[in-house]
């Protein structure tokens, strides 16, 4: 068939070819001419008509051959099937609605979750050759850090052959003062080659150069497109302009294009950067040492270099460096991780778990609709038999039935997409902030393709069995019994579907139960402090005015005084970081007389700089010694508190009180005396073991990045947010207040991904149970309706309703029991995949499983009981006449 012919025939199939009337006209003309010929040869009119008919051939066959040629026969029969299918579906609106709702939920949930999966996990990162981008972390002996020191990367750059570029990034918090109000910017500082490595170029101005990236030279900026348009009206003359931030002048050198996406979800920096400045580090600087692991390392692998090879090479170089600088480097390893994995590794498991859950929902939906179709095909037996008797082949009948299920699944897909569009918005609102690339989640072409694919597969899965069985009916037999009578084979198929329904619902229910128990466990876990009634606000004292520590301390003292004067504030304290505040400050902990041969190998302990009221405010118990006091000032003997975990890890059974400690460097800074031991706190996550900690007085270890914590006299601390912010602003309007949050919220947020999974799983489990209940109810009521006559006979013969009820329930109960048992077995296998998300509950927690099984059993029995009750209410005489 030529393309031209195919095109014309396609048009013909759509009704755009010549019409039947054209052919009729031609044939009529032809017949008349033949007839006239025959009459001219002397035949009488009847004989002439007969001869003409014979010469021309049968009109129906000609028309059929002609129509086949006009269109595409396949399309034509499809159109017929569709027309017929739609008619059949409209004739049974109840069935159609039930099937459509079921499929909408199943396909919609799948579409929604797939759109998340696609955006977050499947789509390549928006940089050229993203597979070659990696993060580089230098893990100390604790094996914790994902960060790296400047000197380490500088040496890697000189010695490694695996990378095109190695780049660095650090957190940064500049403040832009607009209309007299301080505004904190999302910003990072990066090595000059960062954009080159990412494969991005400024849309306006120039990229950073090596010359920009020096300690005395680094105050130049690249702006994001968004900030440039929002704050500077998209003015192209921005390049070269000088901006003042934190009392210092910065020169704008360029603007990044809108297409450049900053790295999202850097767990430490939380960078959604709008401003970039060069790092400005040099070897030998204060923060440039090997152990100064506060930088994020990135690399672009050379083409063809594997992660393993790069890792091996960097570790070999690190070993070399350790031999060359024995007191500067600790024992540790370098980890090279693909950038995608670094960004999305944490959310991978939750998303796949949810995808699995919605797949189960879809399977239940398939089983349900399959069930409905089987039930329906029983009542359609005589119709199908009639069509078979009239000459429809089995294949044609199967195709007709499959067309109907395809119509249902495509209808379900259409509604499902609408459902998903709404659901995706809900998901975005529910999703934890840690879910990267969330703004890219959308129902788009790729997602629609997926939906169409699952709709087609779905249609086959639920449609094939009923279609095959329906078409298999022997016409004579089926017509003889007039569509009623027994349906033994079908009822077994339905029993299997019921069991599958229940088993799948059981798996989801168990999973949801485990996640809810996890959330409960997280919420009730003791973080080591009392979060109730506490409100925190982060702010930073930067710029010329706070260049001296004494100025910072003066501000602190005045602020504390103001905070304590706010009505409703019970007590107040300042700290440079609080648990669950999103910050880390791990420092080398060097104890006099207990240092390792290489002090770099001494442990790293989380440092909290706090004002004396902090421990009491947080209700962290004092275990031994004394608390920090107002008398511990800049001029008195430096002191600190350690947590129990620190005492145990560093001092073992010895008493730590009185020990002398240096913090940060083993060879510099004052010796500080441990004066007390306090309880442990979880630093960021109650689901991981406590972090060893130390507490130093702000007076003796002054920090500019601070958190104000106030305790409310009433249960609701949120009303203090406004006066708290105002108090800081009143002292200095240029001080940016970044994050105001109630501590209980911070603790809950830390479990956000568990919460997210738990809520969604609970929703899916609810849908699954609902669908299973509906499916079960449908099957049972159908079965009971079939047995109405039997029930009538039994009742007429004197059976009491209770007997009948028992009879039906006992057969139903075994089905339900079987389904639940199968579900428990499947759940034991399936919940293993939840393991890494669970906390405080085992993946096969008997209580959760028992609860889920019980709930499902009750639902199953109610689904049996209701239709039976209804059947029993029917008058026996009427029941007997029912057939």
Q: Nearer to other proteins by C-beta: 8 or 219?
A: 8
- H or E stretch covering 222: strand 220-223
Q: Residue 48 CB, nearest distance to other proteins (Å)?
A: 15
Asked whether the beta carbons of 213 and 192 are under 8 A apart, the reply is yes
Q: What pairs with residue 624 in β-bridges? A: 677
Count other Cβ atoms within 10 Å, centred on residue 723: 17
Q: Nearer to other proteins by C-beta: 53 or 294?
A: 53
Give me the sign of the Cα torsion angle 614, 616, 620, 624: positive
Task: Give Cα separations from 644 to 320, 556, 652, 693, 869 (angstroms).
Answer: 37, 28, 10, 8, 65
Q: Nearer to other proteins by C-beta: 56 or 184?
A: 56
Q: Residue 6 CB, nearest distance to other proteins (Å)?
A: 9
Q: Residue 391 CB, nearest distance to other proteins (Å)?
A: 19
Asked whether the beta carbons of 417 and 451 are under 8 A apart, the reply is yes
Q: Nearer to other proteins by C-beta: 28 or 882?
A: 28
Give me the sign of the Cα torsion angle 818, 819, 820, 826: positive
Q: Residue 70 CB, nearest distance to other proteins (Å)?
A: 6
Report the interhelical angle of 339-379 vs 752-786 (nearest 10°). Answer: 10
Q: Which residues bind other proteins (CB under 8 A)?
A: 2, 4-5, 8-9, 12, 18, 22-23, 25-27, 29-30, 32-34, 55-59, 61-62, 65-66, 68-70
Q: Nearer to other proteins by C-beta: 30 or 229?
A: 30
Rounded to whole angstroms, the Cα distance separating 765 from 602 reads 49
Q: Residue 388 CB, nearest distance to other proteins (Å)?
A: 26
Q: Residue 55 CB, nearest distance to other proteins (Å)?
A: 5
Q: What angle do CA 851, 855, 860 make, to 5 degrees?
A: 145
Q: Nearer to other proteins by C-beta: 55 or 629?
A: 55
Q: Nearer to other proteins by C-beta: 20 or 730?
A: 20
Q: Nearer to other proteins by C-beta: 12 or 332?
A: 12
Q: Nearer to other proteins by C-beta: 70 or 662?
A: 70
Q: Residue 14 CB, nearest distance to other proteins (Å)?
A: 14
Count other Cβ atoms within 10 Å, centred on residue 592: 11
Q: Nearer to other proteins by C-beta: 47 or 480?
A: 47
Asked whether the beta carbons of 304 and 156 are under 8 A apart, the reply is no
Rounded to whole angstroms, the Cα distance separating 601 from 666 reads 11
Q: Residue 67 CB, nearest distance to other proteins (Å)?
A: 9
Q: Nearer to other proteins by C-beta: 66 or 671?
A: 66
Q: Residue 39 CB, nearest distance to other proteins (Å)?
A: 13
Q: Residue 394 CB, nearest distance to other proteins (Å)?
A: 24
- Tally of helices (H runs) and strands (E runs) in the chain: 26, 23
Task: Give Cα separations from 702 to 154, 379, 552, 585, 610 (angstroms).
Answer: 30, 83, 7, 13, 9
Q: Residue 22 CB, nearest distance to other proteins (Å)?
A: 7
Residue with tokens 């349906």: 487
Q: Nearer to other proteins by C-beta: 18 or 393?
A: 18
Q: Residue 83 CB, nearest distance to other proteins (Å)?
A: 24
Q: Which two tokens stand for residue 646?
A: 């620190």
Q: Nearer to other proteins by C-beta: 27 or 551?
A: 27
Q: Residue 44 CB, nearest distance to other proteins (Å)?
A: 21
Residue with tokens 């890494």: 836
Q: Nearer to other proteins by C-beta: 32 or 324?
A: 32
Q: Residue 773 CB, nearest distance to other proteins (Å)?
A: 56
Q: Nearer to other proteins by C-beta: 32 or 654?
A: 32
In the Cβ-directed half-sphere of 385, how many Cα atoms lie within 13 Å? 17
* Secondary structure letter of residue 289 according to DSSP: S
Q: Which alpha helices (H) appear in 71-164, and where do they start and end? A: 73-91, 93-117, 150-159
At a CB cut-off of 8 Å and minimum separation 6, what does 362 contact?
Answer: 106, 107, 109, 110, 454, 458
Rounded to whole angstroms, the Cα distance separating 149 from 216 reads 20
Q: Residue 491 CB, nearest distance to other proteins (Å)?
A: 47
Residue with tokens 């005396």: 673
Strands (E), 653-780: 660-663, 672-678, 693-697, 705-712, 737-742
Nearest one of 867, 851, 849 to 776, comparing CA atoms: 867
Asked whether the beta carbons of 213 and 279 are under 8 A apart, the reply is yes
Rounded to whole angstroms, the Cα distance separating 697 from 627 reads 10
């Amino acid at each position: 068939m030529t393309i031209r012919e195919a095109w014309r025939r396609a048009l013909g199939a759509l009704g755009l070819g010549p019409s039947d009337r054209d052919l009729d006209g031609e044939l009529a003309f032809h017949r008349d001419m033949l007839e006239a010929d025959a009459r001219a040869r002397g035949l009488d009119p009847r004989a002439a008509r007969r001869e003409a008919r014979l010469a021309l051939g049968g009109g129906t066959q000609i028309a059929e051959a002609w129509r086949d040629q006009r269109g595409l026969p396949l399309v034509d029969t499809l159109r017929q099937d569709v027309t017929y299918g739609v008619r059949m579906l409209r004739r049974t609106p109840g069935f159609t609605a039930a099937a459509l709702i079921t499929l909408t939920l199943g396909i919609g949930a799948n579409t929604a979750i797939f759109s998340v999966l696609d955006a977050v996990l499947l789509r390549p990162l928006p940089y050229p050759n993203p597979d070659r981008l990696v993060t580089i972390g230098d893990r100390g002996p604790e094996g914790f850090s994902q960060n790296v020191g400047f000197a380490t990367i500088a040496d890697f750059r000189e010695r490694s052959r695996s990378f095109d570029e190695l780049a660095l990034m650090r957190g940064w918090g500049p403040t832009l003062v607009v209309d007299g109000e301080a505004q904190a910017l999302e910003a990072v500082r990066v090595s000059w080659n960062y954009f080159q490595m990412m494969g991005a170029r400024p849309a306006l101005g120039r990229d950073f150069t090596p010359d920009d990236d020096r300690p005395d030279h680094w105050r130049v900026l690249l702006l994001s497109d968004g900030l440039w348009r929002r704050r500077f009206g998209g003015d192209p003359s921005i390049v070269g302009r000088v901006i003042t931030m934190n009392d210092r002048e910065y020169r704008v050198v360029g603007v990044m294009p809108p297409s450049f996406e900053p790295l999202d979800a850097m767990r430490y920096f939380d960078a959604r950067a709008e401003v970039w400045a060069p790092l400005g580090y040099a070897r030998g600087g204060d923060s440039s040492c090997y152990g100064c692991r506060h930088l994020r390392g990135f690399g672009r692998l050379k083409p063809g270099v594997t992660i393993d090879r790069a890792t091996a090479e960097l570790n070999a170089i690190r070993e070399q460096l350790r031999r060359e600088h024995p007191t500067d480097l600790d024992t540790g390893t370098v980890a090279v991780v693909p950038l995608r994995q670094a960004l999305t590794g944490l959310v991978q498991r939750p998303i796949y778990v949810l995808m699995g859950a919605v797949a189960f929902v879809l399977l239940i939906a398939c089983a349900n609709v399959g069930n409905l179709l089987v039930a329906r095909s029983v009542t359609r037996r005589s119709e199908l038999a009639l069509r078979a008797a009239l000459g429809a082949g089995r294949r044609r009948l199967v195709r007709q039935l499959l067309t109907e299920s395809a119509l249902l699944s495509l209808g379900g897909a259409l509604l499902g997409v609408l459902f998903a569009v709404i659901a995706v918005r809900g998901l975005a609102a529910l999703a934890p902030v840690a879910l990267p690339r969330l703004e890219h989640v959308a129902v788009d072409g790729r997602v629609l393709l997926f939906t169409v694919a699952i709709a087609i597969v779905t249609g086959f899965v639920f449609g094939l069995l009923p279609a095959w069985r329906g078409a298999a009916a022997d016409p004579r037999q089926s017509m003889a019994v007039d569509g009623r009578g027994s349906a033994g084979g079908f009822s077994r198929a339905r029993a299997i579907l019921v069991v599958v329904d229940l088993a799948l619902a059981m798996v989801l229910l168990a999973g949801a139960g485990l996640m809810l128990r996890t959330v409960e466990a997280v919420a009730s876990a003791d973080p080591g402090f009392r979060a109730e009634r506490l409100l925190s606000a982060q702010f930073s004292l930067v710029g010329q005015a706070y260049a001296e520590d004494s100025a910072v301390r003066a501000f602190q003292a005045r602020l504390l005084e103001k905070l304590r004067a706010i009505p409703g504030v019970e007590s107040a304290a300042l700290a440079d970081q609080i648990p669950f505040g999103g910050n880390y400050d791990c420092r080398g902990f060097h104890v006099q007389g207990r240092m390792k041969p290489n002090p770099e190998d001494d442990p790293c302990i989380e440092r909290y700089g706090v004002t004396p009221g902090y421990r009491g405010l947080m209700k962290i118990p004092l275990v031994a010694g004394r608390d920090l006091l107002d008398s511990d000032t800049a001029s008195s003997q430096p002191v600190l508190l350690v947590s129990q975990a620190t005492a145990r890890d560093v001092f073992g059974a010895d008493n730590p009180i009185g020990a002398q400690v240096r913090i940060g460097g083993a060879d510099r800074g004052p010796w500080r005396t441990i004066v007390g031991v306090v309880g442990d706190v979880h630093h960021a996550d109650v689901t991981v073991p406590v972090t060893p900690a130390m507490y130093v007085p702000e007076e003796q270890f002054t920090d500019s990045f601070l958190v104000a914590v106030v305790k409310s006299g009433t249960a609701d601390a949120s009303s203090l947010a406004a006066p708290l912010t105002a108090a800081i602003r009143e002292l200095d309007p240029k001080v940016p207040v970044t994050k105001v949050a109630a501590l209980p919220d911070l603790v809950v947020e830390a479990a956000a991904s568990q919460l997210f999974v738990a809520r969604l799983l609970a929703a899916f489990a609810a849908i699954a149970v609902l669908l299973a209940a509906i499916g079960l109810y449908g099957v049972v009521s159908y079965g009971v309706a079939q047995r109405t006559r039997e029930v009538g006979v039994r009742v007429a013969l004197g059976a009491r309703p209770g007997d009948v009820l028992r009879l039906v329930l006992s057969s139903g109960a075994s089905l339900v029991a079987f389904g639940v048992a199968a579900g428990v077995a499947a759940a034991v296998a399936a919940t293993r995949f939840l393991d890494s998300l669970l906390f405080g509950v085992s993946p096969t927690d008997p209580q959760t499983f028992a609860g889920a099984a019980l709930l499902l059993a009750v639902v199953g029995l109610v689904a049996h009981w209701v239709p039976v009750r209804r059947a029993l209410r029917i008058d026996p005489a009427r029941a007997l006449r029912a057939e």
